[in-house]
């Protein structure tokens, strides 16, 4: 059958969970709270990397943590919007479901990322957030949070700033989707991921992909086969190592400088002083013939 159908969740209780989430009032009741972790406003501002308002009454605003197992949904499409979510640990994906039921991956949030902004407008979530690993999520009731925004001016500004940053991120995503070749998309994806891992204190050189090739492809507007082929090509070129989901970044510069087709006639003047790495790649139809002219990183 078509592999585009929605993935089957491994969680045995996910079905009942989904049902429970649609009723408006069920949120907190539906989530199991293993471990009674709470965060105050300062913790949250640190997580989001925004300046914390110095208020002496941290105790007045406490926000609950909830744990999710891999495969569980933090929120689903159409669910009534009550709260924003901050990722304290773990890895997730957010997806849109089109009219035929196939997934469109929008982002891969991790620690410090804010989820659920899309629900503010219509008071219903427009996308769905799924845990790719076990996750610890902080619940930010929207009413509470916007009230705090009115109390602390910096917080309101910071919230605008975070939303603005998300907007810019998506704009860049749009530019990338419509202007880059498959190789460039995958290269940028790896570069971004490495950078984010690095910022979180993990290794930016060796890391595990938490998502399938299919999810990467959906995110980048490619098929899983194209993603797989491109990773293999980068591997043979010596840019990266690939062992299932473990990626090793060997030549970050090559990944960063790999770009898309120039508009015009660079292909006439292909010189013979071509690095073997490029030749090999071109031979496999994995890069266009004139790549040699625009891949300075390959020398």
* Contacts to DNA by CB under 7 A: 7-8, 181-183, 209, 212-214, 217, 221-229, 231-232, 242, 244-245, 261, 263-265, 267, 285, 287-289
Indicate the residue among 238 and 262 with the shorter CB distance to its own copies: 262
Indicate the residue among 126 and 261 with the shorter CB distance to DNA: 261
3-state secondary structure of 95: strand
CB 4, min distance to its own copies, A = 4
Interatomic CA distance for residues 145 and 161, integer angstroms: 15
Which candidate, 242, 257, 188, places its Cα nearest to that of 219?
188
CB 229, min distance to DNA, A = 5
Q: Which residues of the chain form contacts with its own copies (CB under 8 A)?
A: 1-4, 78, 96, 98-100, 102, 104, 106, 117-124, 126-127, 146, 149-150, 153, 156-157, 159-168, 170-175, 177-179, 218, 220-221, 259, 262-264
Indicate the residue among 1 and 29 with the shorter CB distance to its own copies: 1
CB 32, min distance to DNA, A = 21
Answer for the pair 186, 234: CB distance below 8 angstroms, yes or no.
Answer: yes
Indicate the residue among 49 and 245 with the shorter CB distance to its own copies: 49
Sign of CA dihedral 121, 144, 162, 17: negative
CB 12, min distance to DNA, A = 11
Query: Long-range pairs for 142-148 at CB < 8 Å and ≥24 separation?
Result: 142/81, 142/82, 142/83, 142/84, 144/61, 145/84, 148/41, 148/61
- 87 forms beta bridges with 137
Answer for the pair 137, 35: CB distance below 8 angstroms, yes or no.
Answer: no
Token couple for 17: 């969970």
Tell me which of DNA, its own copies, none is bound by residue 225, counting a contact when its beta carbon lies within the kind-specific cut-off of 5 to 8 angstroms.
Answer: DNA
Contacts of 59 (CB under 8 A, 6+ apart): 40
Interatomic CA distance for residues 148 and 134, integer angstroms: 30
Indicate the residue among 52 and 184 with the shorter CB distance to DNA: 184
∠ CA 212-218-220, nearest 5°, is 105
CB 204, min distance to DNA, A = 20
Answer for the pair 85, 115: CB distance below 8 angstroms, yes or no.
Answer: yes
DSSP 52: P
Burial grade of 299 (CB within 10 A; 0-12, 13-18, 19 or more): exposed
Tell me which of DNA, its own copies, none is bound by residue 242, counting a contact when its beta carbon lies within the kind-specific cut-off of 5 to 8 angstroms.
Answer: DNA
Backbone angles phi, psi at 71, to 5 degrees: 100, -20
Indicate the residue among 62 and 179 with the shorter CB distance to its own copies: 179
Tell me which of its own copies, DNA, none is bound by residue 261, counting a contact when its beta carbon lies within the kind-specific cut-off of 5 to 8 angstroms.
Answer: DNA
Indicate the residue among 88 and 127 with the shorter CB distance to its own copies: 127
CB 150, min distance to DNA, A = 44
Tell me which of its own copies, DNA, none is bound by residue 183, counting a contact when its beta carbon lies within the kind-specific cut-off of 5 to 8 angstroms.
Answer: DNA
CB 102, min distance to its own copies, A = 7
Tell me which of DNA, its own copies, none is bound by residue 117, counting a contact when its beta carbon lies within the kind-specific cut-off of 5 to 8 angstroms.
Answer: its own copies
């Amino acid at each position: 059958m078509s592999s585009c159908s929605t993935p089957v969740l491994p969680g045995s209780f996910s079905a009942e969970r989904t049902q429970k989430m649609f009723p408006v009032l069920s949120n907190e009741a539906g989530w199991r709270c293993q471990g009674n972790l709470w965060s105050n406003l300062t913790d949250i501002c640190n997580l989001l990397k925004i300046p914390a308002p110095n208020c002496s009454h941290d105790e007045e605003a406490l926000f609950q943590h909830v744990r999710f197992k891999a495969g569980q949904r933090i929120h689903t499409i159409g669910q009534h919007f009550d709260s924003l979510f901050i990722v304290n640990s773990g890895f997730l994906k957010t997806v849109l479901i089109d009219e035929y039921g196939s997934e469109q991956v929008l982002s891969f949030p991790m620690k410090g990322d804010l989820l659920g902004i899309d629900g503010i407008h219509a008071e219903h979530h427009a996308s769905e957030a799924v845990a790719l690993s076990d996750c610890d999520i902080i619940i930010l009731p929207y009413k509470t949070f916007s009230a705090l925004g009115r109390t602390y001016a910096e917080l309101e500004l910071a919230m605008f700033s975070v939303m603005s940053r998300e907007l810019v991120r998506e704009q860049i995503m749009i530019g990338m989707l419509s202007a880059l070749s498959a190789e460039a998309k995958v290269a940028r994806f790896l570069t971004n991921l490495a950078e984010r891992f690095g910022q979180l204190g993990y290794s930016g050189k060796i890391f595990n992909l938490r998502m399938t090739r299919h999810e990467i492809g959906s995110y980048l507007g490619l098929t899983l086969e194209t993603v797989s082929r491109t990773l293999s090509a980068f591997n043979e070129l010596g840019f990266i190592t690939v062992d299932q989901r473990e990626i090793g970044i060997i030549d970050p510069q090559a990944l960063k400088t790999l770009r898309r087709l120039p508009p015009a006639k660079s292909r006439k003047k292909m010189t013979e002083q071509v690095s073997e790495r490029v030749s090999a790649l071109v031979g496999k139809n994995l890069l266009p013939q004139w790549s040699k002219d625009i891949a300075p990183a390959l020398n």
